[in-house]
């Protein structure tokens, strides 16, 4: 994500939380195992999540 791309692993994880026929939530906050904010993702109508902002240490 630090390079501005959503990895296939993360994409698969996000897809697990979307119910069929339901639009993805507009904003997704991804936290690391340590509880730090890593990135904000936004879902556009008809598209998958896009990275809105990445937070680095």
Domain membership of residue 27 (yes or no) is yes
Domain membership of residue 2 (yes or no) is no
- For residue 6, the model assigns a pLDDT of 85
pLDDT greater than 80 at residue 45: no
pLDDT greater than 80 at residue 55: yes
Give the mean model confidence (pLDDT) for residues 40-51. Answer: 82
- Is there a contact between 40 and 53 (Cβ–Cβ < 8 Å)? yes
Number of domains in the chain: 1
Dist CA 33 CA 29 (whole Å):
13
Smallest Cα–Cα separation from 41: which of 31, 49, 7, 32? 49
- Is there a contact between 28 and 39 (Cβ–Cβ < 8 Å)? no
Domain membership of residue 1 (yes or no) is no
Domain membership of residue 30 (yes or no) is yes
- For residue 19, the model assigns a pLDDT of 73
Domain membership of residue 23 (yes or no) is yes
pTM as predicted:
0.68
List the domain range (segments joined by +) for residue 25: 8-54
pLDDT in tens, 6-39: 888 888 888 787 777 777 776 777 777 888 888 8
Domain membership of residue 3 (yes or no) is no
């Amino acid at each position: 994500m630090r390079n501005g791309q959503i990895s296939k692993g993360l994409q698969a994880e996000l897809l697990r939380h979307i119910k069929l026929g339901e639009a993805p939530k507009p904003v997704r906050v991804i936290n690391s195992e340590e509880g730090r904010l890593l990135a904000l993702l936004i879902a556009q109508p008809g598209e998958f999540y896009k990275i809105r902002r990445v937070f680095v240490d």
